[in-house]
A and B are shown apart, each in its own frame.
Chain A
Amino acid sequence: MSDETQNKGTEVTEPETTVEALDTVERSDSVAAKVAEHVLAKVEPTVGVSKPDTIMVVDDVVRRFGGMTAVDVGHLEVQRGVITALIGPNGAGKTTFFNLLTGFDKPNQGSWSFEGRSLHGMSATKVARNGMVRTFQLTKALSRLTVLQNMLLAAMDNPGENLFGSLVRPLWAGTEKRNTEKALEILARFKLDTKKDDYAGSLSGGQRKLLEMARALMTDPTMIMLDEPMAGVNPALVQSLLHHIQALRDDGMTVLFVEHDMHAVRHISDWVVVMAEGKIVAEGPPKSVMQDQAVIDAYLGAHHDTDLGDDSLLDPAVLARLEAEEDKR
């Protein structure tokens, strides 16, 4: 993260509500942010549009739970090096879609690839090893491990993690030392370095979110998937979290994050994908996508401006028109 953004995080006065906190978050004016904006400005904001430099391509992924179709995504491309927000009302299938992409759930059909490699049928472990690392909506800090141990656990390719290698300390002492230095550096960035010897279980909810993000960074991911990073985090930390998410992009990573609050994604995302009832209903830059009729319908209901007390609703002709509209959607 650049010094500039870090200062911004500390200078602002303590906000009282999350909305207030979000409004004070400014879009990073880093080169990466400008490039992302510039490139995506040329992409037409329609569902399933193709993008100039895709890192992930999803085709016809369907997940059914019994008779209910939770996810039915036709075509989606994710641009490399930008922050893509996946939003939608509660129950839209965002987290399920996330679980499918990261190998934590298996779809009924469909295919998707990451950096040109198919991820279909790949285990969550292998997905992570390929450089696509996720966090969880309900944070999974490893409670009875210290903050530093949480970080060291995430480092890849430690010879001491092999059963036989673990018995011979000289084999892994060097790796462990290098990993510790890296971990402390990342922890310092997330202002968790003073907590390094505390049990992760003793951290606050927001600190756990930060730890989870820091831990994901230990794996050197190319793409980082954040599931509701702002959920249950106090307003002061929301700002710092949003700065960190932007810093990930500025460091060259691709970020895909799930959020149900439209407000939260407005300032920091470069591209927004909107899901409703399992389908992608709109995508585009954050400013224009919020104006999209399909998005407003998804969030507020298609007939939110219809007065239910209106006598004209009793007229069969009007009802038929509304029904026809409903069918068209």
Chain B
Amino acid sequence: MELSRILTQALAELIAPTTAAIALAAIGLNLHFGFTGLLNMGQAGFMLLGAYGFGIATMSGAPFWLALVVALASGALFALILGIPTLQLRGDYLAIVTISAAEIIRMLGRATVFQEWTGGAAGLTGSSFKATFQELSILPAAPERGAFGPLEYVFTGSDSWWTRLFAWAAVLVAVLFVWLLTRSPWGRVLKGIREDEDAVRALGKNVFSYKMQALVLGGMLGSLGGVLYVLPRSVAPDSMGRSLTFFVWTVLLLGGAATLWGPVLGSMLFFAVYMLLRAGMREGLEGVVSSTMVEQIGGMLVGVTLMLLVIFRPQGILGNKKELAFDVR
């Protein structure tokens, strides 16, 4: 009885909108790190900015698609601002700048100065920006709820079938987009830059421009992920901080960087197992550990997983073992 409930919870995570949102952010990060070798340590910043862009635009009366464009544009602008000073420098500088810039976005978001727009530390409540999205629903209005196997949700609403359908459709479109890009000569230049940017420069390619294009595209996918991330909940700046960035990294490295489906598989597996662990601990260790401790232990396990992955299986699940057979340097 308890076991089946835990398994159902894990199954629900496989198709949860949050899983799709993180997969999308990881697809963007894959474009950065997996294909171009850019160390973006602030993907959560892109996500938060996308969420704010979407939320604030909607609250100002923009229709859904315009708000989505605003979210994507803010991600692109953020990438440009970060990229112009750092992409001419060595890779580590981008890592330093992105990790701090993401924190700056979060701090500005929760600052009282901009409270009028961002809602300060409390953020934007879900009901203030979700209406336009839910009006778009193509699912039947009645009956209100529908079940698929053991999973049952409302058709249209915050945590609904419509949110899931939209989120996973967006993931599929992103995968198709990345597939088209990375099989092309453009993608080959990115991989060349990942291996050795001086060699690519010596062959007459404008390395800075390619790195910028990758940063902007990956950042826009991150922002889109941010929009999907807040659609079933509210915009809360503190829930989109550094730990979210590391979730995205874990998802990418678990599935396999520089692979097409790695981020998607990584995200599904990560959230299912994460849920299994926490639900298992809550049930199995009831009375031994409190529910807040379960969350903390879960976070620790994510960190340990990330370390073990990098040490023992840096190519992830879908990665090509042959690529690591020789010294990359």
Are B185 and A215 in touch, CB under 8 angstroms?
A: no
Distance in angstroms between the alpha carbons of A300 and B192 in the assembled complex: 42
Instruction: Report chain B residues within 8 Å CB of A126.
Output: 204
- Closest residue to A167 on the B side, CB-wise? B180
Q: Which of A110-118, A132-140, A283-291 contacts B (4 or more CB under 8 A)?
A: A132-140
A153-B189, A161-B185, A167-B181 are contacts. A136–B203 as well, Cβ < 8 Å? Answer: no
Distance in angstroms between the alpha carbons of A160 and B190 in the assembled complex: 12
Judge whether B326 is part of the interface by a CB distance below 8 angstroms. Answer: yes
Judge whether B293 is part of the interface by a CB distance below 8 angstroms. Answer: no
Judge whether A47 is part of the interface by a CB distance below 8 angstroms. Answer: no
Judge whether B322 is part of the interface by a CB distance below 8 angstroms. Answer: yes
Distance in angstroms between the alpha carbons of A156 and B192 in the assembled complex: 14
Instruction: Report chain B residues within 8 Å CB of A167.
Output: 180-181, 184
Instruction: Report chain B residues within 8 Å CB of A162.
Output: 186
Q: Chain B contact residues: over half helix, strand or loop, or mixed?
A: helix
Judge whether B195 is part of the interface by a CB distance below 8 angstroms. Answer: yes
Instruction: Report chain A residues within 8 Å CB of B180.
Output: 166-167
Q: Which of A36-44, A85-93, A141-149, A259-267 contacts B (4 or more CB under 8 A)?
A: A141-149
Judge whether B5 is part of the interface by a CB distance below 8 angstroms. Answer: no
Shortest Cβ gap from A284 to chain B (Å): 30
Shortest Cβ gap from A90 to chain B (Å): 22
Distance in angstroms between the alpha carbons of A23 and B181 in the assembled complex: 50
Interface residues in A, total, Cβ within 8 A: 42
Judge whether B42 is part of the interface by a CB distance below 8 angstroms. Answer: no
Judge whether A102 is part of the interface by a CB distance below 8 angstroms. Answer: yes
Judge whether A128 is part of the interface by a CB distance below 8 angstroms. Answer: yes
Judge whether B191 is part of the interface by a CB distance below 8 angstroms. Answer: yes
Interface centre among B185, B194, B326, B327 (most CB of A within 10 A): B185
Judge whether A219 is part of the interface by a CB distance below 8 angstroms. Answer: yes
Shortest Cβ gap from A55 to chain B (Å): 18
Instruction: Report chain B residues within 8 Å CB of A199.
Output: 322-323, 326
Distance in angstroms between the alpha carbons of A169 and B183 in the assembled complex: 10
A140-B198, A144-B323, A144-B328 are contacts. A161–B205 as well, Cβ < 8 Å? Answer: yes
Are A202 and B326 in touch, CB under 8 angstroms?
A: yes
Are B187 and A166 in touch, CB under 8 angstroms?
A: yes
Interface centre among B181, B200, B201 (most CB of A within 10 A): B201
Judge whether A104 is part of the interface by a CB distance below 8 angstroms. Answer: yes
Distance in angstroms between the alpha carbons of A201 and B196 in the assembled complex: 12
Shortest Cβ gap from B24 to chain A (Å): 19
Instruction: Report chain B residues within 8 Å CB of A163.
Output: 181, 186, 213, 217
Shortest Cβ gap from B283 to chain A (Å): 44
Judge whether A73 is part of the interface by a CB distance below 8 angstroms. Answer: no
Instruction: Report chain B residues within 8 Å CB of A150.
Output: 192
Distance in angstroms between the alpha carbons of A135 and B202 in the assembled complex: 8
A145-B192, A153-B192, A166-B181 are contacts. A134–B202 as well, Cβ < 8 Å? Answer: yes
Question: A190-222: contact bitstring with B at CB < 8 Å (1 yes, 0 no)?
Answer: 000000000101100000000000011011000
Shortest Cβ gap from A222 to chain B (Å): 13
Judge whether A59 is part of the interface by a CB distance below 8 angstroms. Answer: no
Judge whether B288 is part of the interface by a CB distance below 8 angstroms. Answer: no
Among the listed B189, B207, B327, which residue makes an inter-chain contact with A161, where contact means beta carbons less than 8 Å apart?
Answer: B189
- Closest residue to B186 on the A side, CB-wise? A166
- Closest residue to A202 on the B side, CB-wise? B326
Are B185 and A152 in touch, CB under 8 angstroms?
A: yes
Instruction: Report chain A residues within 8 Å CB of B326.
Output: 143, 199, 201-202
The 3 closest A-B pairs by CB, nearest first: A128-B204, A166-B184, A166-B186
